[in-house]
Amino acid sequence: MTDLSVDTLFDAVVRIQLLERSITVSFAADHSVRIKFPITRRLAEFLGIPHYLVLRNVALMEKEDLVTKAEREGIITTRKGSRKMMDLMQEKYQRESKRILGEAIFAELYKRTR
């Protein structure tokens, strides 16, 4: 069984997005951006772990103010979570992320999450 941590979960989220070649971003007027998480069942399936383990960690991430759950929207990152995700993309998956978002959008998202 995969040893699960918040970092592992964030990494899985980015890898799922890159694998599915789609990154969904919500832009808000306060200049913030929020990045959509895959559904928890998809995360569990991707990591090969029971669903309840993912739920427990998502609850932990909510407590750490990294994600929020919105009705009909699913799980989305907070300001802090968006920053963490963009850092991860910048450090580990820059080339693949830029291919999906494009150079300009990637740069803008990175800037907005500082």
Collect all residues with Cβ–Cβ distance below 8 Å to 98 and sequence separation of at least 6. 106
- For 102, the enclosing helix (H) or strand (E) is none
Size of the site for other proteins (CB under 8 A): 24
Among 53, 55, 60, 105, binds other proteins (CB under 8 A): 105
> CA angle 94-41-57, nearest 5°?
75
C-alpha dist (Å) from residue 60 to 46, 87, 91: 19, 20, 24
Which of 6/18 has CB closer to other proteins?
18
Tell the smallest beta-carbon distance from residue 23 to other proteins (Å). 5
d(CA 39, CA 26): 16
Q: Which of these segments, 8-16, 58-66, 82-90, 102-110, binds other proteins (CB under 8 A)?
A: 102-110
Q: Which of residues 35-94 bind other proteins (CB under 8 A)?
A: 36, 39, 72, 74
Tell the smallest beta-carbon distance from residue 66 to other proteins (Å). 19
Tell the smallest beta-carbon distance from residue 89 to other proteins (Å). 12
Q: How many residues are there in the chain?
A: 114
d(CA 19, CA 28): 26
Interacting residue ranges for other proteins, rule: CB under 8 A: 21-31, 36, 39, 72, 74, 99-102, 104-105, 107-108, 112
